[in-house]
Structure 1
Amino acid sequence: MLLRVRDLTKTYPGAEGPVQVLSGIDLDLGDGETLALTGESGSGKSTLLHLIAGLEPADGGTILLAGKDVGKLGDGGRAALRRGTVGVVFQQFNLIPSLTVAGNIAFQARLAGRHDPDGAAQLAQRLGLGDHLAKYPEALSGGQQQRVAIARVLAARPRLVLADEPTGNLDEATAERVLDLMLELVAEAGAALMVVTHSERLASRLGRRAHLSRGRIA
């Protein structure tokens, strides 16, 4: 099993005391599987992705990713996991403003030691970014920045792709094309894909669904 989550809990401080965001989450995901993570705003979907990627510490429970206990890794170990095993498509893009589109796409692949210039150029072309490679993020629309963020993760060929509303800034036709490409590329790599989404249409395209409600998977 690529990902195994057991009894995961997370609490944040609130104005009136601690707020329980995740309450005993259990989740499994194997190589090649695709999963839609749905739920109302504030149900903990993005938090769960961040915990799996080692971006935040859990309060309790375990996350085993590619045989490693994420909670027992130090900062260096979690960073290494994000370089080589897991890629995150953030809702806010998190592009590097000082790098061109081409540089942003290559960034994570270089860190992982998997940079393929020809493959990256083909990926950019397929995502409609071929004419924008020399531009900087500030010159792009929100939808174009979203596609760069997706390309950056896919170019590194991680075993697990975590995507937080990856088509939220795209029109419906472009969203369909981007999702098709994501599914095609993760299938080619034998990778797993977990997508946070509010879109019923997108969720229906993935192999499985997990619905978060009141901090639990319903």
Structure 2
Amino acid sequence: MILSLSGIRKSYSTAEGIIEILKGVDLSVAAGESVALTGESGSGKSTLLHLAGGLDQPDAGSIFMNGRDLGQFGESERARYRRSDVGLVFQQFNLIPSLSVATNLSFHAKLADRYDAAWERQLIEGLGLESYLGRYPEQLSGGQQQRVAIGRTLAARPPLVLADEPTGNLDEATGDAVLDLMLSLARNAGSALLLVTHSSRLADRLDRKVVLHGGRISE
């Protein structure tokens, strides 16, 4: 298993008191496997992705990535993990405004020492970004920025891809093309893909679908 979560619990303090979002989540994703994470709004799907991505820590439970316990990581190890081992596709694009689209696309891949020009060309064509390579993020629409953010993540061929509604700002045809590239990466590079989606149509294209309900996972 590339990703293995066991007994994950997470609570947050609110004006109304402590709210437990995750109440003992168990979930594993194997190399080359794609898993759709579904559930109603507010069920903790994004929280779960943030924990798996090393952006936050659980109150209880363990998260293992390729056999390594994230709970034992210091801050520098967490930063290295986010840079090299996991690809994050969230609603915030986080593109570097001073870099062109072309440089944004290759940035993480070069940082992780996994730059592959042929794979990048495939991503550029698949995402329809050929005409935008010389532009800067502020010159792009929200949907175009989303495509660049997805391409930047996939360019580094991360062992684990965590995606939160990655096609939410895209039309159906472009969304399908994005999912095709993600599934291609999972199959060909042996990456694990955990994707949050509200679309049953997209979820049905993945290997497996799990539901987060009542703070726990069901299949």
TM-score interval (norm. to shorter): over 0.9
1:49-88 deviation line (CA, Å, top 9, x unaligned): 0000110111110000111111110111111112221111
Matched, 1:216 2:206: no
CA contact (8 A) 1:5 1:64 kept: yes
Q: 1:92 corresponds to which letter in structure 2?
A: Q
Q: List gaps (5 residues or longer) in structure 1.
A: none
| Partner Cα separation in structure 2 for residue 10 and residue 43 of structure 1 | 12
| Count of residues in correspondence between the two structures | 218
Identity of aligned residues (%): 60
Helix, strand or coil at the partner of 2:14? coil
Helix, strand or coil at the partner of 1:99? coil
| Partner Cα separation in structure 2 for residue 97 and residue 214 of structure 1 | 39
| Partner Cα separation in structure 2 for residue 181 and residue 68 of structure 1 | 27
Matched, 1:106 2:106: yes
Matched, 1:115 2:111: no
Q: In the alignment, which residue of structure 2 is the partner of 1:9?
A: 9
Q: In the alignment, which residue of structure 1 is the partner of 2:159?
A: 159
| Partner Cα separation in structure 1 for residue 202 and residue 27 of structure 2 | 20
Q: In the alignment, which residue of structure 2 is the partner of 1:182?
A: 182
Q: List gaps (5 residues or longer) in structure 2.
A: none
| Partner Cα separation in structure 1 for residue 143 and residue 174 of structure 2 | 9
| Partner Cα separation in structure 1 for residue 209 and residue 91 of structure 2 | 20
Alignment of 1:67-78 (within 5 A): 67-78=67-78
Q: Once superposed, what is the RMSD of the aligned Cα atoms?
A: 1.1
| Partner Cα separation in structure 2 for residue 183 and residue 93 of structure 1 | 21
Q: CA deviation at 1:142?
A: 1.3
Helix, strand or coil at the partner of 2:58? coil
Q: In the alignment, which residue of structure 2 is the partner of 1:40?
A: 40
Q: In the alignment, which residue of structure 2 is the partner of 1:126?
A: 126
| Partner Cα separation in structure 2 for residue 78 and residue 62 of structure 1 | 15
